[in-house]
Amino acid sequence: MTEPKYIVVGNSSDDPFAIDVAFAMGQREDIADVISMKKFANSEFCPRFISDEQDFNQIGNKLAGKSVIIVSTSNLIVSRQSLAMRTLMIARAAKENGATEVILVEPDLYYSAQDRGPRQELGQTSFERKQDDLKKFDGQPFTAKLYAQLLKLAGVDRVLTVHNHSHSVQRMFTEVFDGKFHNLIPYEIYVDYLLNSNIVTYGKDGEGLALCAPDKGAREFVQEMARRLNLPKVKFVLLDKVRTGERKVDITIHAESEWSLEDIRGHDIVLFDDMVRTGSTVVQSCQLLKQISPGKTVFALTHFYASEEGRVKMAHTAIDEILTLNTIPTVLNRDIQGRLRKKMVVLKIEQWLARNLCGILGITPLKTNDSLYAIDMSSKNLRWKHKIWLSEQLKGLNHR
């Protein structure tokens, strides 16, 4: 039997996200049988790629000719700082045991919020940095760059992430990794779910449906979403937010919006963003949209960070439903969802991620089914009727 060229591992024991990606890529050996996550009595971490104890011929070369894929997410047990250090050590262990290539798959790229520093040369933004922006980072490090440099130093050759919002991070990682940086945007997942589920209602050409960008930073993404839906009558609106304090913003319709609020009165509205933390801005945005009596307001986002404070805020009736992905797998925990479980659906992206990774690496993925993603929804959700696991099952339902 030919040994696989690619080996998939995680950076924590029994990480279900890493296990699912490995399975989707055709790896049949359990990750726990590939790498051991040792911890010494003094609490220091030491990864070890498992080898035959009786084989003295391949010492230091067990991984010769192989590429190691490290899948890194986050969990409630090990901090992101600790997981980042584990990733560095696993990458170094792979290279020092003969691996020809190390690939990091980190759907929610660590330290992306620390995407610039207090001086002009510390971060390449898409806008002119003024004094107030520089002051926001005064006294802080440009941690995203440090992280990229450490990954490169540890032996990582390629980085793959999902829907990274930072222009500065994208440019800097592309530079550090000589173009081997891949920022996957989950258009096809959102498009598939909007077209095949009953989360929103609209006519055959998109009548009665509007997509909304919360600010100019999200405009390109949401406009591309509208184009890919291929519904000629779907409308696009752009909001404008002006920060008037550290935690206070004023939200209005943007002067450059294609349609006014009155134009989308009575529509089902999907507000898209890349992430949420406190939830204040999204609730305020949905409150503005509720003023024109929409059929429904859906908040769709890729990275669900929300704190307890954020979950309390997003329970507001201005948001009818939340559509998110499991780039941060803790969102699948019903205790983490809390009261939001009644209006939340999570699309699990491991299959989609594996397909994209296989495409980038030029390998054939294991075809287990035709689904792009799996679906996780609490039975407390008002749309729940019976369990549907896979995206392909949606297409058998007649919603419209």
pLDDT at 389: 74
What count of other Cβ atoms lies within 10 Å of the Cβ of residue 3?
A: 8
Alpha-carbon distance 371 to 365, whole Å? 13
Q: Categorize the per-residue pLDDT at 396 as very low, low, confident or very high, splitting at 50, 70 and 90.
A: low
Alpha-carbon distance 11 to 151, whole Å? 14
Q: Categorize the per-residue pLDDT at 1 as very low, low, confident or very high, splitting at 50, 70 and 90.
A: very low
**Is the domain covering 187-348+361-394 a CATH 1.10.3720.10 domain?**
no
Contacts with 41 (C-beta within 8 Å, 6 or more apart), sequence order: none
Question: Helices 219-229 and 187-196: crossing angle, nearest 10°?
Answer: 50
Exposure string over 67-83, b if 16+ CB within 10 A, otherwise e: bbbbbbbbbeebeeeeb
pLDDT at 246: 66
pLDDT at 385: 80
Name the most confidently modeled range: 1-5, 70-74, 123-127, 391-395.
70-74
Alpha-carbon distance 298 to 191, whole Å? 14
pLDDT digits 0-9 by tens, 268-321: 999 999 998 888 899 999 999 999 999 999 999 999 987 888 899 999 999 999
User: What is the average pLDDT across 348-355?
Assistant: 97
- 76: helix, coil or strand? coil
Q: Are 115 and 173 in contact (CB under 8 A)?
A: no
Q: Are 213 and 272 in contact (CB under 8 A)?
A: yes
Alpha carbon distances (Å) from 27 to 106, 246, 286: 19, 48, 43
Alpha-carbon distance 108 to 301, whole Å? 12
pLDDT digits 0-9 by tens, 143-154: 999 999 999 999
Alpha-carbon distance 289 to 239, whole Å? 10
- Listing DSSP states for 263-286 in one string gives GGTT-EEEEEEEEESS-HHHHHHH
Instruction: Identify the helix (H) or strand (E) that includes residue 48.
Output: strand 45-49
Looking at the structure, give the CATH architecture of the domain made up of residues 6-184.
3-Layer(aba) Sandwich (3.40)
Residue with tokens 């998110």: 324
pLDDT digits 0-9 by tens, 194-237: 999 999 999 999 999 999 999 999 999 999 999 999 999 999 99
Closest CA to 266 of 237, 296, 300: 296
Number of continuous H segments (helices) and E segments (strands) in the chain: 12, 15
Compute the residue count for the chain: 400
Instruction: Identify the helix (H) or strand (E) that includes residue 240.
Output: strand 235-245
Task: Say if residue 357's pLDDT is above 80.
Answer: yes
User: What is the average pLDDT across 15-26?
Assistant: 95
Domain with CATH 3.40.50.2020 in the chain: 6-184, 187-348+361-394
Q: Which two tokens stand for residue 94?
A: 């792979």
The residues that bridge with 296 in the sheet, in sequence order, are 268
Q: Are 342 and 313 in contact (CB under 8 A)?
A: no
The pLDDT > 70 percentage for the chain reads 96
Alpha-carbon distance 35 to 29, whole Å? 11
Alpha-carbon distance 108 to 187, whole Å? 16
Contacts with 264 (C-beta within 8 Å, 6 or more apart), sequence order: 210, 235, 237, 292, 294
- 232: helix, coil or strand? coil
